[in-house]
C-alpha cells in the first residue's frame, strides 16, 4: 500500500514555478497569423487550429482571426463540426487566409447507441454524451461519481463520503421499489464501471428514453449508460502518465457540547423532570477532569492518491491501448481506507473483411470500514476519558454511572476486518463483412468476481454492556459471482439516393451464477439440554487456545455457524432495430426485444419490449427562412416499453419449503439435546408474477445557433411503471411469508434542458455548458388505495418513521406531525383542548411543542400525520465553464438542487434529550422562562410530551448550490516540450466541494438515498468530503 506521501504536492508546485521561469528562456518559433472565412466570405469563430503531429493548438476569434506559433514547413490543420477539415503548410512571414466549406456530414457527430452507432443528426431518441476529458477532471475512485450534474435528468449521489463508496444513480426519477441502478455497457457488453479508471474512458452516453434503451429490454428499465474506453491510434507508441495527490477533509462538522455544556443541559433535564439534586446521577454531581472531544478523535485528515500509466499505439492493422491504475484512499474516519489496483487492455485488429477486438479488465480492491458505531461515538459523553487504567483492556467504558456506549477508540484498536474483491472481465468480439453494408459480429463476454468479507473480534469489552467474560470471534464469507454472455449480431448499413437505412438483428444468451459460503466461530461452547420441554443453554469457553489467533480453524472446539447458497440465473433474448432516414429530413426508428428470464414461472417467462421514434430535421426544409443564425433544428418524438425484474429474488415465483430444527421460542420436539428436524411451506406458487413494465414517452427538440456555437436539446418525458412489484401483507395465521405481486403503478414526468456555448476572443476561448431538469414523481396505485408502505425507522428500524408511500404522492413522502410553536406557559398548554373540553396534550408544560390536531378528531395520534413534502428534488441544475488562455486553463463546475426537503435525523438523535447522551450545542438554547424566544423546546428527562416525535420540527429545506469543481491548469509550451522530447506536460491544482450555499443545518445537504422508501432522510452517515489536490498529466 502507498504510504502517506506529501512530496507530490511540493513537486507539482515547484513545477508550476519552474515552467514559467524556463519558458521564457527558450526561443519561440514564428508567429503565424491569419483569418478564417466561410463560403459567403463571413468570418468564422471557434475553429480549431492545430500544428499537425503536435498538441499545439488554438481557436479562431469571433472575427475569424487567429495566431499560432509554428515553424516553416509545419502543417496547420483547421477543423470544426459542420466544416470540412483543411490542411495548409506554413509559409514564414505570410498571413494565411482560409476558406472553409460546409460539410453536412460534419454535423453528423457519431453517437454510440445500443448495439451500434448513429449520426447525431439522425438520432430520434434522447441521448446525452459526456466526454472523458470532463470525467477526468473529477478525482474519484468511482468514475460514475464524475457524472454528477453533467446530464440533465441523471441524479448521482453518495450515501456518504467513506472511501470506495458506490454511487447511487437515478435516471428520471424512481420508478420501482427494487434496484434502481442503470445498466452499464462497457465497449458493447455489460460490465461494472466501479473497476475502471476515469483516465481509461473516452466518453459516456446516457440513453434516457424508451426508444434509446428498449433494445436492451428488461435490463434497461432504469436507463442505460454506455461507456466507451480509449483505444489505440495508428502511429508511434505513446506513453501517458497521470497522477494526483489529494488532501481530504469533511465538508462540515457537528458542534457538540463540551463538559460544562453537557452538565448544564442534563441538569436542566433532571430539574424540569422534578428530580431533586440529591437524586441526580453521579456523573452530574461528581467532579471530572475529562473533556473529551470524541468527534475530533474519530476524525482525521484523509489522503487520496492516484497513479495511472498508459501505453497506446498501432500499425496498419492492429491498435492497442494498455493501462495500469492505482488508487489509495485514507478516509476521514480513523481506520477507514480503500485501495484499488486495476489493469486494462484493449486491442483492435482489422484486415480485409475481418475485425477482431478484445478487452480485458482485472482489478483488486480492498476496503476497510470504520470499526466503531458512528452513533455511539456521537452519543458518548465528554465526561468519559479515552483511557481507564482500572479497566482490564485499558480503555474507559463508563464512569460515575454514565450510559454504556461503545468506546470508538477501543473498537478501532481491537477490531479487525476488511472486504476484498478480485474482478476479472474479458471480452472478445469477431466481425466479418459479409456483403456491402452487411456485417456479422459475435461477442463473447466473461465476468468473474470473488469477494471476501472478514472480521475478527478479540476478547475485549467494547462497552460496559458486554459481559465480563467475553469471547473471541472470527467471521469469514467468500462470494463468487460469474457471468457469461454470448451475442450474435447482424448489422446492415446502406445509403442510396436520398435513403439511408441502418438495421441490427441479434440473439443473446446470458447466464449468471452467484455462490457464497460463510462461517462464524465463537470462542465458546453452548451446551443445550432439554428440561421440562424447554431448552436450557450454558456457555463455556471453547476453542482459540490463543485468543489472538484470527482464523476460522483457530476456533476448533468453539461454536460454529455456517451458511451458503448457490443461485443460477438465465436470460435468452432476441432483438431487432431498423432506422430509416429520407433526405436526412424525415427520420424513423423502430425496435423490439423479446426477453426470457428464469426468475418468472413458465406462464410469464417471456416479455416483448417494443419502441418507435420519429424525427424531423425541419431546418433542412426549403420553406424555412434563411436565417444565418439558425444552423440546426430537429423535432423528435418517441415511445418505448421497458421491463424490470430488479425487485425479485431467484425463486420468488416458486412454492418454497424450509427445513430446520424447531427451536423457535425455545420449545422443541423430541427429547435430550437433539431436536427433531421439520419442514414447512412458507410461500405459494405464483404463476402470474410478471415483469414490471415501464412505458416511456418523450418529446424532444435539438437546436444549433450561430454556426453551431450554441447547441442544445430540450426534452419532455412521461414515464409510467405498471405492474409494480410490491410485497402484499397476508394474515400471520396463514403461516406464509408476504408474497410479491404485480399491483402498483408509478408516474415520473419531467422536463430537461442541456445547452452548450463555445466562443473565442483572440487568445481567449470559452466553453459554457448547462443542464436543467424538472421532475414530478407520483404513486398512482398500490395493492389498494389505502395501502401504506412505511420507510425504515430512525430508531431500531421500526420506530420514528418519517416517510410513507401512499397513492397520490411521491415515493417515500414525508408524513409528519405539524409543530405549531412552543407553549409559553402551563396555562396555555392546559387550555389546548378539543371540542369536548379534553386537553389535547395532557403531558405538555411550558416550553413543550404544540402539535396540530390535523384531522380535528379531538385526539393527537398517528392519524394527525399529514403530507409535508418530499425528498425528491423538484429541479436540478448545473453550470460548467471552461476558459483557455494561451497555455492556461480554468474550469468551474457548479451543481445544485431545489424544491426538496430533508428530514434531519441527526437533530432527532442529537437533540432528543435521552439521558446521558451528548447533544448539539443548539440544546443550550433550550426554552426556559428566561429564554422564551427560541424554537428549541425545554430540556426535560424522558420527553413526556414527545417533543422528539417525527414532526415538522426536524424538516428542513434541502436546496443547495455547490461549487463541485474548480481546476487551474498550465501546459508547458510546445517549443519547450520539443527540446525535452515530450508531447505534453500539464500540471494542475484542483478543489472539489469547496463552497456550498444551503439553509440546511445538517452536516451536508447531499445525503444520498438510503432506499426508495426513505428518500430525503438524513441518517447520520459517513460525512461528505471536500478535496484539495495537485495533479500531473504527461505524454511522451
Query: pLDDT tens digits for 485-495?
Result: 999 999 999 99
Q: Residue 1007 corresponds to which cell in the numbers above?
A: 445525503
pLDDT higher than 90, residue 270: yes
Least confident of 148-157, 227-236, 529-538, 565-574: 529-538
| 973-1003 pLDDT, tens digit each | 878 888 888 888 999 999 999 999 999 999 9
Interatomic CA distance for residues 459 and 370, integer angstroms: 19
- C-alpha pair distances (Å), 358 with each of 3, 228, 533: 35, 13, 65
Give me the pLDDT at residue 665, please: 43
Tell me whether residue 425 is in a domain: no
Q: Count of residues for the chain?
A: 1036
pLDDT higher at 651 or 365: 365
Tell me whether residue 12 is in a domain: no
State the pLDDT confidence band at 5, using cuts at 50, 70 and 90: very low
Give me the pLDDT at residue 103, please: 63
Are 1005 and 996 a contacting pair, CB within 8 Å? yes
Q: Residue 555 corresponds to which cell in the numbers above?
A: 476456533
pLDDT higher than 80, residue 313: yes
Region at 195 (left for phi over 0; alpha for psi -120 to 50; beta for the rest): alpha
| 800-815 pLDDT, tens digit each | 999 999 999 999 999 9
Give me the pLDDT at residue 176, please: 85
Tell which residue, 951, 926, 944, 950, has the closest CA to residue 847.
926
Give me the pLDDT at residue 458, please: 85
pLDDT higher at 218 or 291: 291
- Give one DSSP letter per residue of 166-226, joined into a string: PPEEEESS---SS--PPEEEETTEE--GGGS-GGGEEEEEEE-SHHHHGGGGGG-TT-EEE
Interatomic CA distance for residues 80 and 106, integer angstroms: 8
Mean pLDDT, residues 955-962: 97
Give me the pLDDT at residue 462, please: 61
Q: Is 666 exposed, middle or buried (0-12, 13-18, 19+ CB in 10 A)?
A: exposed
pLDDT higher at 1017 or 109: 1017
Give me the pLDDT at residue 15, please: 41
Partners of 225 in the β-ladder: 184, 206
Partners of 657 in the β-ladder: 681
pLDDT higher at 684 or 520: 520
State the pLDDT confidence band at 379, using cuts at 50, 70 and 90: very high
Helix, strand, coil percent values for the chain (each to nearest 5): 15, 50, 40
Give me the pLDDT at residue 9, please: 44
State the pLDDT confidence band at 1, using cuts at 50, 70 and 90: very low
State the pLDDT confidence band at 465, using cuts at 50, 70 and 90: low
Interatomic CA distance for residues 241 and 239, integer angstroms: 7
State the pLDDT confidence band at 24, using cuts at 50, 70 and 90: very low
pLDDT higher than 50, residue 13: no
Interatomic CA distance for residues 819 and 225, integer angstroms: 44
Tell me whether residue 676 is in a domain: no
Give me the pLDDT at residue 664, please: 45
Mean pLDDT, residues 80-91: 79
Predicted model pTM: 0.87
| 691-723 pLDDT, tens digit each | 889 999 999 999 999 888 899 999 999 999 998
Residues near 750 by beta carbon (within 8 Å), at least 6 away in sequence: 153, 172, 173, 716, 717, 773, 774, 775, 776
pLDDT higher at 519 or 17: 519
Mean pLDDT, residues 81-106: 75
Interatomic CA distance for residues 364 and 449, integer angstroms: 10
Tell me whether residue 83 is in a domain: yes
Tell me whether residue 85 is in a domain: yes
Q: Domain range spanning residue 82?
A: 31-103
Q: What CATH number corresponds to the domain at position 60? A: 2.60.40.1120
pLDDT higher at 508 or 739: 508
| 170-179 pLDDT, tens digit each | 999 988 887 7
Q: Residue 966 corresponds to which cell in the numbers above?
A: 474548480
Give me the pLDDT at residue 20, please: 39
Are 173 and 719 a contacting pair, CB within 8 Å? yes
State the pLDDT confidence band at 81, using cuts at 50, 70 and 90: low
Report the number of distinct structural domains present in the chain: 1
Using DSSP bridges, classify how beta strands 224-229 and 183-186 pair: parallel, antiparallel or unpaired: parallel
Give me the pLDDT at residue 666, please: 44
What is the three-state SS of 110-172? Answer: EEEECCEEEEHHHCCCCEEEEEHHHHCCCCCCCHHHHHCCCCCCEEEECCCCCCCCCCEEEEC
Which of the listed ranges 552-556, 594-598, 936-940 does the model predict with the highest average pLDDT?
936-940
pLDDT higher than 80, residue 46: no
Q: Residue 45 corresponds to which cell in the numbers above?
A: 469563430
At CA 532, angle to CA 531 and CA 536, rounded to 5? Answer: 30
Tell me whether residue 433 is in a domain: no
Mean pLDDT, residues 840-850: 96
Question: What is the SS3 assignment for 485?
Answer: strand
Interatomic CA distance for residues 858 and 834, integer angstroms: 5
Which of the listed ranges 34-48, 105-119, 676-690, 851-865 does the model predict with the highest average pLDDT?
851-865
Mean pLDDT, residues 933-952: 96
Tell me whether residue 71 is in a domain: yes
What is the three-state SS of 340-371? Answer: EEEEEEEEEEEECCEEEEEEEEEEEEEEECCC
Mean pLDDT, residues 313-333: 95
State the pLDDT confidence band at 677, using cuts at 50, 70 and 90: low
Q: Residue 709 corresponds to which cell in the numbers above?
A: 456555437
Interatomic CA distance for residues 251 and 374, integer angstroms: 17
Give me the pLDDT at residue 602, please: 79
Partners of 699 in the β-ladder: 637, 716
pLDDT higher than 70, residue 108: no
Average of per-residue pLDDT values in the chain:
87
Give me the pLDDT at residue 206, please: 92
| 1018-1036 pLDDT, tens digit each | 988 888 899 999 999 999 8
pLDDT higher than 90, residue 138: no
pLDDT higher than 60, residue 83: yes
Q: Provide, rounded to the nearest whole percent, the portion of the chain with pLDDT above 70.
A: 92
Give me the pLDDT at residue 669, please: 54
Q: Residue 487 corresponds to which cell in the numbers above?
A: 451475442
Tell me whether residue 339 is in a domain: no
Tell which residue, 1, 16, 3, 2, has the closest CA to residue 1031.
16
Q: Residue 335 corresponds to which cell in the numbers above?
A: 481506520
Mean pLDDT, residues 643-669: 65
Mean pLDDT, residues 664-668: 45
Interatomic CA distance for residues 199 and 403, integer angstroms: 50
pLDDT higher than 50, residue 905: yes
Amino acid at each position: 500500500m502507498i504510504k502517506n506521501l506529501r512530496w507530490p504536492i511540493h513537486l507539482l508546485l515547484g513545477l508550476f514555478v519552474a515552467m514559467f521561469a524556463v519558458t521564457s528562456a527558450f526561443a519561440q518559433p514564428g508567429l503565424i497569423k491569419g483569418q478564417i472565412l466561410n463560403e459567403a466570405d463571413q468570418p468564422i469563430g471557434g475553429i480549431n487550429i492545430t500544428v499537425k503531429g503536435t498538441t499545439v493548438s488554438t481557436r479562431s476569434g469571433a472575427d475569424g482571426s487567429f495566431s499560432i506559433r509554428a515553424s516553416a514547413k509545419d502543417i496547420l490543420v483547421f477543423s470544426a463540426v459542420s466544416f470540412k477539415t483543411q490542411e495548409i503548410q506554413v509559409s514564414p512571414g505570410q498571413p494565411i487566409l482560409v476558406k472553409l466549406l460546409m460539410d453536412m456530414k460534419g454535423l453528423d457527430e457519431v453517437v454510440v447507441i445500443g448495439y451500434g452507432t448513429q449520426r447525431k443528426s439522425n438520432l430520434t431518441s434522447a441521448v446525452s454524451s459526456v466526454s472523458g476529458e470532463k470525467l477526468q477532471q473529477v478525482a474519484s475512485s468511482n468514475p460514475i461519481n464524475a457524472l454528477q450534474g453533467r446530464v440533465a435528468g441523471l441524479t448521482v449521489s453518495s450515501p456518504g463520503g467513506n472511501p470506495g463508496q458506490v454511487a447511487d444513480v437515478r435516471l428520471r426519477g424512481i420508478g420501482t421499489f427494487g434496484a434502481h441502478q442503470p445498466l452499464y455497457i462497457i465497449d458493447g457488453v455489460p460490465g461494472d464501471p466501479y473497476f475502471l479508471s476515469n483516465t481509461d474512458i473516452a466518453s459516456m452516453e446516457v440513453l434516457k428514453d424508451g426508444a434509446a434503451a428498449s433494445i436492451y429490454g428488461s435490463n434497461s428499465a432504469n436507463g442505460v449508460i454506455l461507456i466507451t474506453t480509449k483505444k489505440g491510434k495508428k502511429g508511434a507508441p505513446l506513453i501517458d502518465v497521470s497522477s494526483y495527490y489529494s488532501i481530504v477533509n469533511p465538508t462540515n462538522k457537528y458542534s457538540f457540547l463540551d463538559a460544562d455544556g453537557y452538565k448544564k443541559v442534563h441538569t436542566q433535564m433532571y430539574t424540569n423532570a422534578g428530580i431533586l439534586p440529591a437524586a441526580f446521577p453521579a456523573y452530574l454531581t461528581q467532579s471530572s477532569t475529562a473533556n473529551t472531544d470524541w468527534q475530533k478523535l474519530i476524525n482525521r485528515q484523509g489522503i487520496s492518491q492516484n497513479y495511472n500509466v498508459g501505453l497506446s499505439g498501432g500499425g496498419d492493422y492492429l491498435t492497442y491501448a494498455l493501462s495500469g491504475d492505482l488508487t489509495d484512499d485514507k478516509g476521514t474516519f480513523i481506520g477507514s481506507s480503500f485501495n484499488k489496483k486495476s489493469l486494462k487492455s484493449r486491442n483492435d485488429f482489422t484486415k480485409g473483411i475481418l475485425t477482431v477486438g478484445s478487452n480485458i479488465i482485472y482489478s483488486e480492491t480492498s476496503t476497510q470500514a470504520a470499526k466503531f458505531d458512528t452513533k455511539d461515538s456521537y452519543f458518548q459523553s465528554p465526561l468519559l476519558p479515552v483511557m481507564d487504567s482500572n479497566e482490564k483492556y485499558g480503555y474507559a467504558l463508563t464512569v460515575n454511572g454514565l450510559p454504556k456506549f461503545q468506546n470508538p477508540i477501543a473498537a478501532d484498536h481491537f477490531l479487525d476486518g476488511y472486504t476484498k474483491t478480485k474482478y476479472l472481465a474479458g471480452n472478445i468480439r469477431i466481425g466479418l463483412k459479409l456483403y456491402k453494408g452487411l456485417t456479422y459480429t459475435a461477442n463473447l463476454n466473461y465476468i468473474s468476481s470473488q469477494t471476501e468479507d472478514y472480521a475478527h473480534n478479540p476478547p475485549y469489552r467494547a462497552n460496559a454492556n458486554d459481559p465480563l467474560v467475553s469471547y473471541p470471534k472470527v467471521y469469514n464469507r467468500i462470494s463468487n459471482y460469474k457471468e457469461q454472455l454470448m451475442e450474435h449480431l447482424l448489422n446492415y448499413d446502406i445509403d442510396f439516393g436520398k435513403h439511408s437505412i441502418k438495421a441490427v438483428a441479434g440473439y443473446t444468451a446470458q447466464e449468471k451464477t452467484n455462490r457464497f459460503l460463510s462461517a462464524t466461530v465463537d470462542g465458546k461452547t453452548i451446551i443445550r439440554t432439554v428440561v421440562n420441554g424447554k431448552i436450557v443453554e450454558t456457555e463455556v469457553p471453547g476453542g482459540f487456545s490463543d485468543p489472538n489467533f484470527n482464523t476460522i480453524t483457530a476456533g476448533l472446539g468453539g461454536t460454529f455457524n455456517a451458511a451458503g447458497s448457490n443461485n443460477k440465473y438465465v436470460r435468452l433474448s432476441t432483438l431487432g432495430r431498423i432506422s430509416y432516414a429520407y433526405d436526412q429530413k424525415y427520420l424513423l426508428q423502430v425496435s423490439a426485444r423479446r426477453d426470457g428470464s428464469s426468475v418468472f414461472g413458465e406462464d410469464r417467462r417471456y416479455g416483448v419490449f417494443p419502441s418507435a421514434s420519429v424525427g424531423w430535421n425541419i431546418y433542412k426544409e426549403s420553406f424555412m427562412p434563411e436565417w444565418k443564425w439558425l444552423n440546426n433544428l430537429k423535432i423528435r418524438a418517441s415511445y418505448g416499453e421497458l421491463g424490470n425484474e430488479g425487485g425479485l429474488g431467484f425463486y420468488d415465483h416458486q412454492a418454497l419449503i424450509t427445513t430446520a430444527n424447531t427451536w423457535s421460542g425455545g420449545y422443541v420436539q423430541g427429547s435430550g439435546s437433539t431436536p427433531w428436524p421439520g419442514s414447512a411451506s412458507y410461500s405459494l406458487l405464483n404463476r402470474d408474477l410478471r415483469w414490471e413494465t415501464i412505458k416511456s414517452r418523450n418529446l424532444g427538440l435539438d437546436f444549433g445557433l450561430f454556426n453551431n456555437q450554441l447547441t442544445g436539446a430540450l426534452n419532455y418525458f412521461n414515464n409510467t411503471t405498471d405492474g409494480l412489484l410490491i410485497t402484499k401483507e397476508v394474515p400471520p395465521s396463514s403461516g406464509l411469508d408476504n408474497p410479491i405481486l404485480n399491483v402498483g403503478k408509478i408516474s415520473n414526468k419531467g422536463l430537461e434542458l442541456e445547452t452548450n456555448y463555445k466562443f473565442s476572443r483572440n487568445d481567449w476561448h470559452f466553453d459554457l455548458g448547462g443542464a436543467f431538469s424538472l421532475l414530478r414523481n407520483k404513486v398512482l396505485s398500490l395493492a389498494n388505495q389505502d395501502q401504506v408502505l412505511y420507510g425504515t425507522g430512525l430508531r431500531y428500524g421500526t420506530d420514528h418513521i418519517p416517510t410513507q408511500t401512499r397513492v397520490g404522492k411521491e415515493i417515500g413522502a414525508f408524513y409528519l406531525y405539524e409543530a405549531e410553536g412552543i407553549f409559553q406557559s402551563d396555562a396555555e398548554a392546559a387550555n389546548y383542548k378539543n371540542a369536548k373540553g379534553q386537553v389535547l396534550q395532557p403531558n405538555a408544560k411550558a416550553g413543550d411543542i404544540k402539535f396540530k390536531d390535523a384531522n380535528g378528531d379531538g385526539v393527537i395520534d398517528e392519524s394527525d400525520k399529514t403530507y409535508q413534502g418530499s425528498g425528491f428534488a423538484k429541479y436540478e441544475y448545473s453550470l460548467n465553464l471552461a476558459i483557455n488562455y494561451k497555455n492556461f486553463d480554468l474550469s468551474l463546475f457548479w451543481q445544485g438542487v431545489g424544491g426538496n426537503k430533508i428530514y434531519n435525523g441527526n437533530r432527532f438523535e442529537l437533540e432528543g434529550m435521552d439521558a446521558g447522551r451528548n447533544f448539539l450545542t443548539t440544546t443550550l438554547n433550550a426554552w426556559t422562562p428566561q429564554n422564551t424566544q427560541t424554537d428549541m423546546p425545554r430540556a426535560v428527562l424522558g420527553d413526556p410530551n414527545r417533543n422528539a416525535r417525527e414532526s415538522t420540527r426536524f424538516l428542513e429545506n434541502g436546496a443547495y448550490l455547490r461549487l463541485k469543481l474548480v481546476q487551474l491548469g498550465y501546459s508547458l509550451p510546445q517549443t519547450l516540450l520539443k527540446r525535452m522530447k515530450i508531447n505534453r506536460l500539464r500540471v494542475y491544482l484542483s478543489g472539489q466541494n469547496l463552497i456550498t450555499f444551503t439553509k440546511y443545518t445538517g452536516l451536508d445537504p447531499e445525503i444520498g438515498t438510503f432506499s426508495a422508501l426513505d428518500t430525503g432522510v438524513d441518517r447520520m452517515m459517513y460525512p461528505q468530503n471536500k478535496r484539495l489536490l495537485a495533479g500531473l498529466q504527461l505524454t511522451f
